[in-house]
Amino acid sequence: MNAAREPIMDDGIKTLLRGVSASPDAISNESAWIEVIQRMDEIYADIVRYQVQLEEKNAGLEDAQRFIQSVISSMSDVLVVADTGGSIQQVNRALESLTGRTTAELVGQPLAALFSAEYAPKVEDFAEHIRTAAISDCEVELLDANRRATPIAINCTPRFDHHGRLSGLVITGRPLGELQRAYDDLRDAHHQLKTTQQQLVQSEKMASLGQLVAGVAHELNNPISFVFGNMHALKRYEQRLHSYLTAIHDGLPEDEREQLRKKLKIDRLLADIAPLIDGSLEGADRVGQIVEDLRRFSTPANQQQCQGFDLCRVINTAAEWVIKARRVRPVLDIRIPATLTITGYEGYVHQILVNLLQNAADALEDVSQPLIRIRAGIQHEQAWVTVQDNGPGIPSPQLLRIFDPFFTTKGVGKGTGLGLYISYNLATEQCRGSLKADSDEGGALFTLTLPRELAP
């Protein structure tokens, strides 16, 4: 309607009407008419104004509706609105394309008809359920265009009318296929990363094992030569005993037998046998222990076991292996308790200590009086071990990078730059402790802390 339209009667007509009636009655009639016409004009003007306002509001409402509709149809998540009885009132385009059914086909249908038979009863309960609480991240199965069950994660919230009364429910959901795929990809990538990391730890360990072989061989050499020496002595004793017993069996007279007994030193021989056997057993035991340490050290990461072990024994073994493998052997100043039992991954702790000691020994290659200090103890339920050397130390800019993978200052073929990176990860992630580095003119100091009781 046009707001500028003129009132029904203009001033000219009114003047005309006034001119037509001249009698007093006619004059009063005329003024009544004029009043009526004026009222009509006013009312008409009001109607026109209201109509204009109404049309403006209608246009605003239509805009708002178009806006809401465009938002709903561009939603990639599915949307279903249902009344309190569970009948569908509205759906969006995402749901139409997923189910292959139009809004017209779906409106008025029961909500449960959208879902697979397994989930329909659950969905039927929604209308009742949302009276007490909204439903979030509920996994159900929607029937797609081919009536196949499609997993979907939905949220369901109550809808209220303008009086604040419950008038239905609103369901929004996202097909899980996409999420599941993304999740599966992520899990595969994580698995691959873990495997690669384990391989890295293992190959680094094997590389340092190569450097340790000389030290281990040296360690084995002691008890084995001990056992050898004892065996040779026992063999000689066996020959003397054999001669003595043969003489007795041949009926040698008693005084000659006594002379032979003294000559073959049978009494000393008999007293020696037990310590020789004990010593040999001890040597064999030590060999067994070294083999066991080697086995533990080379055990792949996924077979490492969290159990009680003596930290001090691990420190001593690592130090022996590393230092004895060296051409130039630094002096070891080890001041640690006799034993220190903690629960954790012995193999990992061994690997960390070997790395720290190898680095210290490397740093001491050109130092005139090379010294490595090792200390250990317990504080606040944490075991700590420090490895300090009197080498050149680590310059401050490098101190920030030494735990980075592949950071090395050693020549090609001498260092891969993985030792501290792997040690740091083993210390913090697997052993749930810490590894810190400090340095000054006096050399480098590494501090390893480990929980006293690591829960597997």
In the complex, the residues that contact Mg ion under the rule CB under 5 A are 359, 419
- Nearer CB in complex with ligand ATP: 84/408: 408
**Minimal distance, residue 227 CB to ligand ATP, in Å:** 34
Q: Positive or negative, the Cα torsion across 411, 412, 413, 419?
A: positive
Kindly tell me which of 110 and 415 has the beta carbon lying closer to Mg ion: 415
CB 391 to ligand ATP: min, Å = 5
Residue 318 C-beta: closest distance to ligand ATP, Å: 14
- As a whole number of angstroms, the distance between CA 283 and CA 302 comes to 32
- Which two tokens mark 167? 């008038």
Whole-number minimum distance, CB 418 to ligand ATP, in Å?
A: 4
Size of the site for ligand ATP (CB under 6 A): 20
For ligand ATP, the binding residues in 78-137 under the rule CB under 6 A are none
Does 417 help bind ligand ATP (rule: CB under 6 A)? yes
209 lies in the binding site for ligand ATP (CB under 6 A): no
Beta bridge partners of 135: 156
Considering only residues 427-446, where is the footprint of ligand ATP by CB under 6 A? 444
Q: Name the pairing type of β-strands 149-160 and 88-91.
A: unpaired
- Pair 437, 399: CB distance under 8 Å: yes
3-state class of 312 per DSSP? Answer: helix
Which sign does the torsion angle of CA 304, 307, 312, 316 carry?
Answer: negative
> CB-wise, 114 or 427, nearer to ligand ATP?
427
Pick the closer one to ligand ATP by CB: 140 or 323.
323
Q: Given the complex with ligand ATP, which of 206 and 277 has the nearer CB atom?
A: 206
Q: Which of the listed partners (Mg ion, ligand ATP, none) does 94 bind, with a CB threshold of 5 to 8 Å by partner kind?
A: none
The least CB distance from residue 373 to ligand ATP, in Å, is 12
Tokens of 73: 């149809």
H helix count then E strand count, the chain: 13, 12
Contact between 426 and 351 (Cβ < 8 Å)? yes
CB of 298 to ligand ATP, least distance (A): 17
Residue 418 makes contact with ligand ATP by CB under 6 A: yes
Q: Does 415 bind ligand ATP (CB under 6 A)?
A: yes
447 binds ligand ATP (CB under 6 A): no
Helical H runs in 250-325? 254-263, 266-298, 311-324
Nearest-angstrom CA–CA distance, 206 and 371: 26
Q: Which stretch binds ligand ATP (CB under 6 A): 6-14, 104-112, 370-378, 404-412?
A: 404-412
| Residue 210: partners with Cβ closer than 8 Å, 6 or more residues away | none
Helices (H), 111-175: 120-124, 126-129
| Shortest distance in whole angstroms from residue 419 CB to ligand ATP | 2
Binders of ligand ATP among residues 342 to 361 (CB under 6 A) are: 355, 359-360
Nearest to 452 by CA among 306, 289, 305: 306
Residues paired with 168 in a beta bridge: 83, 159
Positions in the binding site for ligand ATP (CB under 6 A): 355, 359-360, 363, 389, 391, 394, 402, 407-410, 415-421, 444
